[in-house]
């Protein structure tokens, strides 16, 4: 049959239709896959947007600049002091930057006291701690290198009276059923005039009471940090005051005797103490080897400058007294850094407790 144009067109359209029918089964799975991919991409996009929205808060929680700065500054000062001591003991030719350890150490100590002063004066309205921090800044600036640890006993004793002594005492009294007004170390809830008076009078009364009780019953020193620190602060202050006289050797011994009760308490009790928040804690020699606690480590490290400071003043150690001073400063910075890490952890627990009442009741 001859093919006309209409026949050809119909044939070609039929072929096209056949091709479409043949191709449609192949294209359909592809369209389904594309649809699935599009839905998946939309879901991923929504998830990504949610993740991006949460990234800023996650990032802030990961970096604690207080902790980081504490490690860097106190750790750096301690490292420089140890290098300086090694250089002096063995006559090594170390780079000149090692000699900057004293300047760095003083800077770190002054900066730490400045932050403490700001917190005590403006945030907590705590008079003894404020005066103690200000006094310590002055002592650090004025003292000779070899006398920094000795003279700081004067300011540290005052800081102890205004902070950990009263905290531990109040919690001890609550634990045994006595009704006390618990300010801890924070008097910000009071008007300024009342806060200045209350933060000065109450801790001093507590301190005097503790000393009187220990005189009657010396075994109380091992019962609670409030008693141990009251005795320690007395000797620390007396040693620092005596250190202003020519009798620095005797002053150092007195200062050391004052530091022993608190440092051993920290070292033995470790994280079980948390500044005396558990009044039932007793001395336990086994806890000396509990290495999980920043507070326990701080106590162990603080024992070193306490012992070395009187020793370095003996005539037989005169030739290496400067090196021993560097060792004292290095261990003091390590202890201070560890103690700050303990406080950072305690503050975080308090923040967690504020947001979670179950944690608050557990503490």
How confident is the model over 102-117, as pLDDT tens digits? 999 999 999 999 999 9
Among candidate residues 193, 153, 183, the one with its CA nearest the CA of residue 302: 153
Residue 309: per-residue pLDDT: 94
Task: Give the residue, 13 or 163, on which the prediction is more confident.
Answer: 163
Separation of alpha carbons 25 and 196, rounded Å: 87
| Buried/exposed code over 173-207 (b: 16+ C-beta within 10 A; e: otherwise) | beeeeeeeeebebbbeeeeeeebbebbbebbbebb
Cβ atoms < 10 Å from Cβ of 131 = 18
Q: Are 120 and 188 in contact (CB under 8 A)?
A: no
In the chain, which ranges are E strands? none
Q: How far is CA 39 from the centre of its chain?
A: 49
| Buried/exposed code over 317-353 (b: 16+ C-beta within 10 A; e: otherwise) | eeeebebbbbbbbbbbbbbbbbbbbbeebbeeeeeee
Give me 162's structure tokens: 């205004």
Q: How far is CA 24 from the centre of its chain?
A: 70
Torsion of CA 235, 239, 242, 246, to 10 degrees: 150
Residue 357: per-residue pLDDT: 35
Is the model's pTM score more than 0.85? no
Average pLDDT, the chain: 77
pLDDT bin (cut points 50, 70, 90) of residue 15 is: very low
Asked if the model's pLDDT at residue 288 lies above 70, the reply is: no
Helix (H, G, I), strand (E, B) or coil at 346: helix
User: Residue 243: CA atoms inside 13 Å, Cβ hemisphere, count?
Assistant: 28
Separation of alpha carbons 262 and 253, rounded Å: 15
Q: What would you report as the CA-atom Rg of the chain, rounded to the nearest whole angstrom?
A: 34
What percent of the chain lies above the pLDDT cut of 70? 69
Give residue-wise pLDDT tens across range 40-71: 565 555 445 544 444 444 444 567 777 888 88
Q: Are 346 and 274 in contact (CB under 8 A)?
A: yes
Separation of alpha carbons 250 and 243, rounded Å: 8
Give me 121's structure tokens: 């004066």
Residue 27: per-residue pLDDT: 47
pLDDT bin (cut points 50, 70, 90) of residue 211 is: very high
Task: Give the residue, 273 or 305, on which the prediction is more confident.
Answer: 305
CB neighbour list of residue 263: distance below 8 Å, 6 or more residues apart = 299, 300, 302, 303, 306
Give residue-wise pLDDT tens across range 179-202: 777 667 789 988 999 999 999 898
């Amino acid at each position: 049959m001859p093919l006309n144009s209409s026949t050809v067109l119909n044939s070609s359209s039929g072929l096209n239709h056949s091709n479409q029918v043949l191709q449609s089964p192949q294209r359909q799975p592809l369209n389904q896959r594309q649809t699935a991919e599009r839905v998946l991409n939309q879901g991923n996009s929504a998830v990504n947007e949610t993740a991006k929205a949460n990234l800023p808060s996650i990032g802030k929680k990961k970096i604690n600049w207080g902790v980081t700065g504490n490690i860097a500054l106190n750790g750096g000062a301690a490292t420089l002091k140890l290098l300086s001591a090694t250089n002096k003991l063995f006559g090594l030719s170390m780079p000149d930057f090692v000699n900057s350890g004293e300047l760095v150490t003083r800077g770190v100590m002054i900066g730490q006291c400045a932050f403490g002063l700001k917190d005590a004066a403006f945030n907590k309205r705590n008079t003894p701690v404020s005066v103690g921090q200000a006094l310590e800044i002055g002592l650090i600036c004025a003292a000779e290198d070899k006398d920094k640890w000795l003279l700081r006993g004067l300011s540290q004793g005052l800081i102890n009276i205004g902070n950990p002594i009263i905290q531990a005492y109040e919690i001890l009294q609550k634990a045994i059923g006595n009704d006390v007004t618990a300010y801890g170390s924070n008097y910000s809830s009071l008007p300024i005039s009342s806060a200045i008076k209350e933060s000065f009078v109450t801790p001093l009364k507590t301190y005097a009471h503790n000393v009187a009780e220990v005189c009657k019953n010396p075994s109380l020193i091992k019962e609670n940090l409030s008693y141990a620190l009251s005795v320690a602060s007395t000797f620390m202050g007396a040693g620092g005051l005596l250190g202003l006289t020519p009798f620095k050797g005797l002053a150092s011994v007195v200062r050391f005797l004052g530091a022993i009760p608190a440092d051993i308490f920290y070292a033995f009790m470790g994280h079980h103490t948390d500044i005396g928040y558990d009044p039932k804690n007793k001395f336990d020699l086994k806890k000396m080897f509990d290495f999980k606690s920043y507070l326990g480590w701080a106590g162990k490290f603080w024992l070193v400058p306490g012992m070395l400071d009187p020793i370095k003043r003996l005539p037989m150690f005169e030739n290496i007294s400067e090196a021993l001073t560097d060792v004292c400063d290095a261990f003091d910075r390590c202890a201070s850094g560890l103690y700050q890490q303990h406080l950072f952890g305690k503050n975080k627990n308090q923040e967690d407790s504020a947001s979670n009442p179950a944690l608050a009741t557990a503490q």
